Chains A and B, each alone.
Chain A
Amino acid sequence: MKGRSLAAGAIALLAMAGADAPAADKPVTIGLEIPLSPPGDPSAGQLIRRGGELAVEYVNNEMKGIIGGKPIALAIQDSQGRTEAGIAGYRRLVGEEQVIGVTGFFHSSVNIAVNEVAKELGVPTIATQTSAADVTAKHYDVAFRTHAIDPIRVQTFVDFFQKQNYKRISLVAETTDYGIGIAEETERQNDEKKLGLALQKITFDHSATDLTPQLLQVKAFKPDLVVNIGVGQPLDLMIDQAETIGLLPQTPMLLSYDAPVRPQYWQLHPKNGNGIYFIAYYSPRQKLSDLGEWFAKRYQEKFNEPPVYSSLNGFGDVMILAEAADQAKSTDPKAIIKALEAGTFKNWAASPVTFPRAPGVYWHNWSPPILILKYTEPGQDWRNATLVLEHVGTAP
């Protein structure tokens, strides 16, 4: 009997040792939820993924791991830019992959929907490129963001309208949280600050392919500027169809995000892409952190092109989650949320990242500077685009 107990004890010990040995090397998993197929914006998803993968390389090879040498790994889910796919992906990341946090979000609707589930499951999210107010304005403990929010983005628009003396503005926005959020924020700031702008707001279904009826209305309004608030395919269709009906290039167009920095912009718009104004969040002339410098160099080596903001922020957000776990000395999501709120983090930007419990939409939010650039010749490298305006980022 005694012999049997000893044997059982030995087996149990061996089993425990066996279970422990791989646990020491078991990577800490970080979730990446990105659009990899339409109707989402798959180009953005791929760029964010590149950044996330380089963050894994940095932590595992340069930092030699976190929490005493544990490597990190990514678990990736395709949100497809759809809320239901986003929620399913988040549940899978939490339930099956046991991630310590989820980042990479590009579509506001997806991020907002996922945050409702995250509130219940308790695993934090960091918004990589979603700007709708509700991502952080609901003051959820789990919701963090490192991207330009609607009020700051719209303030940049307003600075631009005033600088260029534009008075009649057409806002052509898709009916998503992103599109509606920006259009309504512009109307709000116009009323609140008594800017006296004549605004025309036209919204359209994200899946619509023929925007001619909407653009004919815009043309009839005779605006000084058209603000293109489409994401992915609608953004490109609007440029083409506006040119066809003679709206472009006579009336300038401002794109609400940094799609033109991507290599395929000039492939899609070789003739009508010139003269476009667009929002950007990064310029190569900016000072970067030492992490950012490493990333820019490694990205150029690996992909043979300079990094763009989506990749930089994808890198930065995975780094922030890894740093938070390292500071918390734990992979428990609650400890990571605490660390995110209390700590100071490094991402690609020169200024440190913090997530204060600030009022309103600025809750748990860090924002990069927002720039407005303009292409002045066909095929121009975005790094040489004219800097029209720079608006300081982060919380006020």
Chain B
Amino acid sequence: MFTTELFVQTLIAGVTIGVLYALMALGITFIYSIVKMINWAMGEFYMIGSYLQYMLVVSLLGPDLWYLAIPIAGLGVFILGAIVEPILIKPMFTRSIERKDDYATVVTIALLLLLRNLATGLGGPYQRTPGSDLPTVMLGPLPQSGARFAAFVFALVAIALFYLLLRKTWFGLALRAAAQSRVGVETAGVNILRLDQMAFGIGVALAGIAGALLAPVFLVFPTNGVVTTVKGFEIIVIGGLGSIPGALIAGVLLGVVESLGAAFISSPYQNVYGFLLVIAILLVRPTGLFGERGRLV
């Protein structure tokens, strides 16, 4: 069935989910830019963020103060990331590991399994929700749940703050420099290993914030991060590894393609449309929309 109203509603639904996808992907692309590794356990940090949000809202703050729980959940995940990084990731650079990429893949997949099983063991496999008292909001002709709209706005704010951090602060300058040349940053007197730790913490905190924001929308359970990881990797291929504007635009593009495809082509292939987009981008522009070809100096 096709009507203009339905098309506009579906388009808006695609844009809102796309922004949330972008937030999920931002951490992956950021960590890759600085630490030069793919974190396969990113979805599990999303999951931990959602559990922290659930526990804070249900046991401590109550549903009215849900917004206070989000930075706390983000901070909690940041601290966890900052603890994990020196133990698992730092040896990539401090020990003579020949195949750094393989090492990173193995340790982050092991971490994924550990965190997922830990969540099942501690909290059980059940679905939970922190609930939300926010009223429904009209986005043009499309009604949106208050929680989802809040997640959309917070995601935009988080992405904007992150962008400002990178562009307007000395710390951001150091991070951008590290993304260009780790050796160059070291010669300028920056402690690159400390920078790695901070970058890993910030990257996983972004996933944690996404998990916290989406806890009342997509529920809380031990494997809720799987979607994050899958969509995240689709987005970084579409947008280009290491590009923040690329992640945002690719997220929106992915959300819109999936929504319109599910509504107007064939619903059961909703997840396939994203992969088709990935293949198309790889054929036309292998580095992604905003990615740059790597250079050897």
Contact = CB atoms under 8 A, between A and B. Distances in A.
Interface string B71-90: 00000000000000000000
Given A37-B223, A42-B126, A216-B6, A237 B270 contact: no
B263 interface: yes
Interface string B1-43: 1010010011001100100000000000000000000000000
A233 B128 contact: no
Nearest to A218: B1
A6 interface: no
A162 interface: no
A43 B126 CA distance: 6
Interface string A69-106: 00000000000000000000000000000000000000
Interface string A243-277: 11110000000000000000010011010000000
A209 B142 contact: no
Interface in B119-152: 120, 124-129, 131, 136, 142-145, 148
A245 B270 contact: no
A208 interface: yes
Nearest to B260: A213
A226 B23 CA distance: 33
B267 A202 contact: yes
Nearest to A212: B13
B125 A233 contact: no
Contacts, number: 103
Interface in A212-255: 212-214, 216-217, 220-221, 232-233, 236-237, 240-241, 243-246
Given A213-B10, A214-B263, A217-B263, A233 B1 contact: no
Given A37-B125, A204-B268, A208-B270, A244 B219 contact: no
B219 A203 contact: no
Interface string B253-285: 000001110110001111100000000000000
B23 to A, nearest CB: 14
Contacts of B126: 42-43, 264
B263 A213 contact: yes
Interface residues of B, number: 40
B240 interface: no
A39 B226 CA distance: 10
Contacts of A202: 267
A243 B260 CA distance: 21
Nearest to B21: A210
A209 B148 CA distance: 13
B259 A210 contact: yes
Contacts of B263: 213-214, 216-217
Nearest to A262: B126
Given A203-B268, A213-B13, A37 B128 contact: no
Contact of A214 (B127, B144, B218, B267): B267
Interface of B is mostly: helix
B219 A236 contact: yes
B221 A38 contact: yes
Contacts of A232: 127
B161 interface: no
Interface centre among B125, B145, B218, by most chain A C-beta atoms within 10 angstroms, is B125
Contact of A233 (B17, B127, B217, B262): B127
Contacts of A169: none
A175 interface: yes
A207 interface: yes
A261 to B, nearest CB: 15
A175 B272 CA distance: 13
Contact of A244 (B10, B14, B148, B226): B148
Main secondary structure of the interface of A (DSSP, over half): helix
A6 B270 CA distance: 76
Interface residues of A, number: 38
Contacts of B267: 202-204, 213-214, 217
Given A38-B223, A208-B271, A245-B142, A213 B129 contact: no
Contact of B145 (A36, A175, A240): A240
B9 A216 contact: yes
B118 interface: no
A220 B120 contact: no
B227 interface: yes
Contacts of B222: 37-38
Contacts of B13: 210, 212-213, 216
A293 interface: no
A210 B144 contact: no
Contacts of B120: 37
A149 B221 CA distance: 30
A207 B271 contact: yes
Contact of B10 (A43, A46, A216, A240): A216
Contacts of B226: 207
A39 B258 CA distance: 21
Contacts of B260: 213
B227 A207 contact: yes
A205 B269 CA distance: 7
A42 B127 CA distance: 9
Given A38-B223, A236-B219, A268 B129 contact: yes
Given A36-B125, A233-B219, A237-B218, A205 B148 contact: no
Given A38-B223, A213-B260, A213-B263, 10 more contacts: A36-B125, A45-B125, A205-B270, A210-B13, A212-B13, A213-B13, A213-B14, A220-B6, A240-B217, A268-B129
12 contacts: A203-B268, A204-B262, A205-B268, A210-B259, A216-B9, A216-B13, A220-B1, A233-B221, A240-B145, A246-B143, A264-B127, A264-B128
